[in-house]
Structure formats: structure tokens, C-alpha cells
Amino acid sequence: MTETAAVRAYLLGLQGRIVETMQAADGKAFLSDAWQRPAGGRLEGDGLSQLVEEGGLLERGGCNFSHVKGASLPPSATQHRAELTGAPFEALGVSLVMHPRNPHVPTVHMNVRLLAAFPAGQAPVTWFGGGMDLTPYYGVEEDARHFHTTCRDALAPFGADKYPRFKQWCDEYFFLKHRNEPRGVGGVFFDDFNEGGFETGFSMMRAVGDAFLPAYLPIAAATRPTASANATSRPTGAAAMSSSTWSGTAARTSACTAAAAPRAS
């Protein structure tokens, strides 16, 4: 099995596991839409989009897989890698967003991905990326602590520096400059990662992907206050800004400090 074939098999399996689990939690089946780009175009490839609307748990959710191939890397990808100019490439990944119906259950984002280039006469060059982050509307400190602890534990086998480094990257990448505040309580984010070679990157990507359900499902499944009859969707305006501000201060500070602290032996 080639490197990208192994990643593809993992990603499709991850998508299947996530959708199966979220369907069971939601009670409504996700719709599936398989697509394929015709051969001979600028980009070839295929994908599978799976989504649900107006479910029991989820107001709207989607978990998508894509695998595209091109004859030449775009200029943006070779700006700092002139030796890869003109190289064929493949890009594949799984990306999801889940928006619950109950505003007391946070929204979550996650993706894991691979970019591979195949320069003539050389070994393939690969970069991994991914991460996940949590956006509560009414903050629950224990949720933030659980989410960050799960992310930390998933990255621990790859070095003590990974969680603090990727947490900071997430904080900076998803900072809302126009509101001068972070998006939710953060999580982890990494991109353009090729440290340690393909196997290390692939293992770390799998660890992040596999951590999604343990990180989010206990939060989504927890008993929550139900929305009142006149407030059945996520808060807007001042209420949303207030809860977002909470997310960016108290919860972020206490939960992330606790997650990053050394564990007792």
C-alpha cells in the first residue's frame, strides 16, 4: 500500500466511525453525497460529504472526506520550496463541524489532512496538518478542561512540547482580530508538519483524529439545561459576546493551565 493509500484508508475509516457515533447520539441518519472530479481536469479526485440537519442533538453537522490530485503544486505551496516547483501532488483529509441544537452544548471543529508532493526522481515529500477546537456559547469549565486534557494526552507520545506548541498555534490561528478575542476555548492546531518523517507525522495525525470522539462526545452527551421555548437556538448579540468573552478568559486560563500541568505519578 502506498503512503497516500494508507492515509486514505485511515481517513475514510475515521469518517465512518465519527458519523456512525454521532448518528447514534443524534438519532437521525446523516445524508451521504459521494462526488468525483472528472479525469483530465486541473484537479482530479473524489470525496464523500456526510451531513445532518434538524436532528435530535445537532441542528446541523457535517463530516467530509476529500482526496484530490493535481499535475503541479500551486505557487503558494512552492513559494519556500523551489525544488518542488512543478511536482505532482495529492491532498486528502477529513474535516467536520458540529452545531448542536441546544446552546448549552458547544460547537466543535476538527480536521486532519495530508499534502504529498512527488518530485521527479526523488522520494515523496509529505506534510501533515490538523487539530480541533471547541466553541461554547455558555461556558462550562469542566468541558474546557476535559477537551484540552484529551488533546494533551493524545499528543503526549510525540513529545512534551507538542501540546503547548499546538495549543498556542490554535490560540493565535483562530483569534478573532475584529473582536479582539479568541474563538471559544481553543484546542490544538498544527500545519505543514514533517518532523520525524512520514511515519511520525501519520501517527500523530491519527492520534489527533482518534482523540476527537473521546474529546467531544462526553461533552455532547452530558445532561444540559434545555433551551427555553423562546430561546431554542444559539445566543446572538450581547449574549453571544458575553459567553464568548467568558470562553476567552476564565475558562481558557484555568482549564488550559490544568491540562498543561504535569500529571501526578
pTM: 0.85
pLDDT of residue 35: 97
Does 34 reside within a domain? Answer: no
Is residue 169 in some structural domain? Answer: yes
Q: Tell me: the pLDDT tens digits for 69-109?
A: 999 998 877 777 888 888 999 999 999 999 999 999 999 99
Q: Are 100 and 107 in contact (CB under 8 A)?
A: yes
**Gap between the Cα atoms of 3 and 227, Å rounded:** 47
- Predicted confidence at residue 128, as pLDDT, reads 97
Q: For residues 103 and 226, give the distance between their C-alpha atoms in angstroms, rounded to a whole number.
A: 8
**Residues facing residue 176 across a β-bridge:** 181
CB–CB of 11/65 below 8 Å? yes
In this prediction, residue 177 carries a pLDDT of 82
| pLDDT of the residue at 1 | 53
What was the pLDDT predicted at 227?
53
Q: Which three cell numbers stand for residue 258?
A: 490544568
CA distance 69 to 157: 32
The verdict on residue 29 lying in a domain is: no
Model pLDDT, residue 63: 98
Q: Which amino acid is at 112?
A: V
Q: For residue 1, what is the DSSP state?
A: -
Query: What is the model's pLDDT at position 232?
Result: 47
Active-site position among 104, 109, 146, 148: 109
Residue 37 counted as domain residue: no
Contacts for 255 with CB less than 8 Å, ≥ 6 apart: 141, 144, 145, 147, 148, 185
Ranges of the chain with pLDDT below 70: 1, 226-265
Q: Is residue 75 part of a domain?
A: yes
pLDDT for res 112: 98
Determine whether 80 is an active site residue: no
pLDDT score, position 77: 79
Instruction: State how far the Cα of 167 lies from the Cα of 152, in Å rounded to an integer.
Output: 9
Residue 114, φ and ψ in degrees, nearest 5: -135, 135
Question: How long, in residues, is the chain?
Answer: 265
Query: What's the Cα-to-Cα distance from 26 to each of 22, 152, 158, 178, 227, rounded to whole Å?
Result: 6, 27, 34, 34, 17
CATH of the domain at 72: 3.40.1500.10
Domain contains 106: yes
Among the listed residues 7, 211, 212, the one whose alpha carbon sits nearest the alpha carbon of residue 91: 7
Domains: count for the chain: 1
Position 115 in a domain: yes
Q: Please tell me the distance from the alpha carbon of residue 36 to that of residue 44, in angstroms, as a whole number.
A: 8
Phi, psi of 165 (to 5 degrees): -65, -45
67's enclosing H/E stretch is strand 58-70
Environment class of 93 (CB within 10 Å of its CB; exposed 0-12, middle 13-18, buried 19+) = buried
Q: 256 is in which domain, residue-wise?
A: 3-24+47-224+234-260
> pLDDT value at position 226?
67
Specify if 142 maps to a domain: yes
